[in-house]
Amino acid sequence: MQIRNLKTFINSNLSNLEVIKNTIEDLESKTPQLYLILEIILDVLQNRKIPKDIEIFLLEKAAHICEKLYEFNKALELYKKLFLLTSSSKYLDQIEKIKTLKIFERLKDILKKINLSFDDLLKIYYQSLETNKSIEAIIMENFKIHKKEILDSIKNFYKIPVFEITDLKKFKKIPQVLTIKKDFFLNTFCIPFQAGKTIYLVCYNPEDIDTIEKVKKILQIPSSDVQLAFAIKEDLMEAIEMYYSSISPYISEFDFEVEPVEEREEEIEEETLIDSAIVQLVNKIIEEAYKMRASDIHWESLIDKKGLQVRFRVDGECFVYTTIPEHQKRPVISRIKIMANLDIAERRLPQDGKIKFKTKEGKTFEIRVATVPTIENNEDVVMRILGGIEFRELEELDLTEENYKNFKRILDYPYGLILVVGPTGSGKTTTLHAALKYLNSPNKKIWTAEDPVEIVQEGLRQVQVNPKIGLTFARVFRAFLRADPDIIMIGETRDQETAHTLIEASLTGHLVLTTLHTNSAPETITRLLNMGIDPYNFADALLGILAQRLAKRLCKKCKKPYKPNKNEIERIKREYGYHPVKPLTDEMIENATFFEPVGCSECNYTGFKGRFAIHELLIPDDELKSLIIKNAPANEIRDLAMQKRFLTLKQDGILKVLKGETTLKQILAVTVR
C-alpha cells in the first residue's frame, strides 16, 4: 500500500483502535524504516477529530520510535503532549529521563552505528557524572570511536563550527576573560577565542541559551560579533586551564602601565621595572614548560603593541601557552637577558647566552637563550630547554631487529668512525648516549665533548665546550688525543678542522662517535667530502652512519584497528617505493594490522602520545667504499646500499606503520624521500 493510501486508510478508521494498532504493527513488521512510520503517525496526529484513546496510542508509538532513533527533542515534545492529555505521572517520569538523555541526540549518527539502547545511554550518563568525563569521552574510550567521527556528528547536528584542543591552542585569547574567575568558565564550559577577525564562543552545550547570553553579557561581547562553536568538555577544560594557567596570578600582580622613555634612559628604566612579580612570572613559565616536556619556549613580540605571545614546543609542535600584556613585555625580556648575562640595552643585534635553572622541586637544567630583533623595534626570545632528555638503553632506541644487530656490531669494533645524523631535535644525543652506555666499562677510557652536557653518565669523562673562551670542539678533541682515550664522542662536527681530526683519530686506534646535521646517511658522505676531507682516509675510517627522525607514536590505550581502503594501500606502496632486496609485498600488507588515532584522557584526546625513532643505517662494504673514494653522488651511494639491504628513513617508517606504531601521515610529515 502506498504511503498516501495508508494515511487515508488510517484516517478513515480513526474510530477503531484495534484496526489502527494492527495497521501500525503490521507496518513495523514489514518495514525497517522507522522514519517512514514516524512520518505517517505524525501526519495522522494532525487530524483534530482523532479520538482520545487513539491519539494516546499514536503519541506513545511515535515517542517510542523517536527514542529508538535517538530523536530525544521530538520524544520530549510527544511525552509532554501525553501528560497534558492524561495527567499520568508515568509520562512525567519519562519526561525526566528524556531531559537527561536529550544531550545524546547530537551523537545520533554515532549511536545508530553502535546501536545503544535507552538503558545503555543512561549508564553512560551516570558514568559521566561519576567520573566527571563527558559522554563523548566515554563513548570514544568504550567503543573505540574516533574523535573526528564524534565532532562530525555534532557538526552535522548543530550546523556550527567544531574545534579540537589543537585548534583552540592556535587561537588568540580574549584579554577580558582573565577579569572573570576561572570557576565561572569551569561551570559554564563556554569561553571565547579569536581566530582572525572572528570571535568564537566555544561551548560544550550550544543549546544552553541562558548560559551563552550570560557569558556574552559578563564579557560585554555583542552578539553580532560572536559565532557559536562547539568543543568537547575535556578540550574546553584544557582550554580554560590554558587561559588560567598558573602564571596568571603573576601576570595580575604586575599591572601598572610603563610610560614611554627615551632610548638613552631605557637601560636604567627597565632595570627598575624588573621587580619580584616579573621574576616570578618568568620562572613560572619556565617551570610550566619543563613540566609539560617542552623542548623550546618562544617569547614572541606581537605587532601593534598586542603583547608578548608565549609558545611551547612539545613533541615537535608549537602551541600558544599564554599572552603577556604589552606593558609587561619589555620587563619580561629584560629579565630573561639578565638571567642569561646578556646586554639588556641591546635590541638591534641578536644575542645568545645560557641560563642554569633550578625548579622549586630542586630539578636543575640548562637553557640556551637566543634573542632576535624583529620589526617595530621589538625582540623575540627563543629558549631551548636542555637536560630533559630521557636516558635509554640501546635496545630501547626503536631500531628494527636487523638495524639493532648491525649497529651493535659496528659499536664492537675497536676503532673507526660512527656518525649519528639528523636535524635538531631528532634524538641524536639520546642515541649517542645509549651507544656510550653499551660501550661503557671500567677497562675503557671514554672522553666526550658536548655543547651542552645533557646526559651525565658515570664512567665517562665529559667536557662542556665553551667557544666564547676558545674551548671549541676541535681544541677539546686535540686535548683528548693526548689523554689516552679508547673511545671519543664529539657532540657535533661543525667545521673542517674537527672533521679532519675525527678521521685522523679513528685511523689511529680510537673509536670515534659524532653527529652531523644532514638529511640522510648517503648525504652525510657527500657533506663530509665537500668539507675537504681525504676520501681514501674517510672510506677507510667509516664504520657506519645512522640517520634518524622522530615521529609521533599512536596512543597505546586508545588506538583503533582499521582496514585501509584500496587507495590508501596504493599510497603506502607508492610511498615505500622500489627496493631491490626488501620490497613491500601484498602479503606483508595483508598480514599487517593498521591503526588510526582515536583520542582519550591518556593522550589528551590527540590520539598520539610520545614519539619514536625511525632510522636508516648505512654500513659501507668494499663496493660502497669505492664509491666514497670516487666521490660519487648521494643517490648513487643510496642505490647501491639498497642492494645490500639498506632501508631509507621513509621505508623504515612505513614498516613501523605496518606494526601499528603510527600512521602514514606522521611518517610523511618527517621524511622527504
* Residues 489, 543 within the same domain: yes
* Residues 13, 69 within the same domain: yes
Q: Is the pLDDT of residue 255 over 80?
A: no
Q: In which domain, by residue range, is 640 found?
A: 394-551+612-649
Q: What pLDDT was estimated at residue 256?
A: 37
Q: What pLDDT was estimated at residue 254?
A: 44
pLDDT band for position 265 (50/70/90)? very low
N- to C-terminal Cα distance for the chain? 63
Q: Is the pLDDT of residue 257 over 60?
A: no
Q: Is the pLDDT of residue 489 over 60?
A: yes
Q: Is the pLDDT of residue 246 over 50?
A: yes
- Into how many domains does the chain fold? 4
Q: Is the pLDDT of residue 666 over 80?
A: yes
pLDDT band for position 80 (50/70/90)? very high
Task: Examine residue 308 and state whether it is found in any structural domain, yes or no.
Answer: yes
* Residues 354, 481 within the same domain: no
- The domain boundary, picked from 243, 271, 290, lies at 243
* Residues 239, 266 within the same domain: no
Q: What pLDDT was estimated at residue 224?
A: 74
- Mean pLDDT score, 118-132: 92
Task: Examine residue 142 and state whether it is found in any structural domain, yes or no.
Answer: no
Q: What is the tens place of the pLDDT at every residue in 184-222?
A: 899 999 999 988 778 899 999 999 999 998 888 887 777
* Residues 475, 368 within the same domain: no
* Residues 304, 323 within the same domain: yes
The residue ranking higher by pLDDT, 455 or 537, is 537
Name the residue among 317, 379, 396, 362 with its Cα closest to residue 670.
Answer: 317
* Residues 497, 643 within the same domain: yes
* Residues 422, 354 within the same domain: no
Q: What pLDDT was estimated at residue 468?
A: 81
Q: Is the pLDDT of residue 339 over 60?
A: yes
Q: What pLDDT was estimated at residue 247?
A: 60
Q: Is the pLDDT of residue 7 over 50?
A: yes
Q: What is the tens place of the pLDDT at every residue in 147-160?
A: 999 999 999 999 99
Question: φ, ψ for residue 85 (rounded to 5)?
Answer: -80, -35
- Beta pairing partners, 162: 230
Q: What pLDDT was estimated at residue 673?
A: 61
Task: Examine residue 339 and state whether it is found in any structural domain, yes or no.
Answer: yes
* Residues 441, 501 within the same domain: yes
Alpha-helical segments (H) within 507-606: 521-530, 535-541, 566-576, 586-591
CATH number for the domain including 228?
3.30.300.160
pLDDT band for position 273 (50/70/90)? very low
Q: What pLDDT was estimated at residue 280?
A: 86
Q: What percentage of the chain exceeds 70 in pLDDT?
A: 91
Among 12-21, 321-330, 336-345, 482-491, the range scoring the smallest mean pLDDT is 12-21
Q: Is the pLDDT of residue 602 over 80?
A: no
- The domain boundary, picked from 347, 365, 386, lies at 386
CA distance 563 to 579: 25
| Residue 610, amino acid | G
Q: Is the pLDDT of residue 16 over 80?
A: no
Q: Is the pLDDT of residue 559 over 60?
A: yes
| Residue 423, amino acid | P
Q: Is the pLDDT of residue 179 over 70?
A: no
* Residues 534, 617 within the same domain: yes
Question: φ, ψ for residue 527 (rounded to 5)?
Answer: -60, -45
- Mean pLDDT score, 628-648: 95
Determine the 3-state secondary structure of 605 from DSSP. Answer: coil
Q: Is the pLDDT of residue 400 over 80?
A: yes
The DSSP call for residue 603 is G
pLDDT band for position 515 (50/70/90)? very high
Which contiguous run of DSSP H or E holds residue 392? none
Name the CA dihedral angle for 314, 316, 322, 325, rounded to a multiple of 10 degrees. Answer: 140
Q: Is the pLDDT of residue 182 over 50?
A: yes
* Residues 330, 464 within the same domain: no
pLDDT band for position 262 (50/70/90)? very low
* Residues 382, 400 within the same domain: no
Q: Is the pLDDT of residue 415 over 50?
A: yes
pTM of the predicted protein model: 0.65
CATH number for the domain including 284?
3.30.450.90
Task: Examine residue 595 and state whether it is found in any structural domain, yes or no.
Answer: no
Task: Examine residue 129 and state whether it is found in any structural domain, yes or no.
Answer: no
Give the best-scoring range by mean pLDDT among 49-58, 170-179, 259-268, 528-537: 528-537
Please, which residues have CB within 8 angstroms of residue 444's CB and are 6 or more apart in sequence?
A: 486, 487
pLDDT band for position 662 (50/70/90)? very high
Task: Examine residue 18 and state whether it is found in any structural domain, yes or no.
Answer: yes
Mean pLDDT of the chain: 87
Task: Examine residue 574 and state whether it is found in any structural domain, yes or no.
Answer: no
Task: Examine residue 146 and state whether it is found in any structural domain, yes or no.
Answer: no
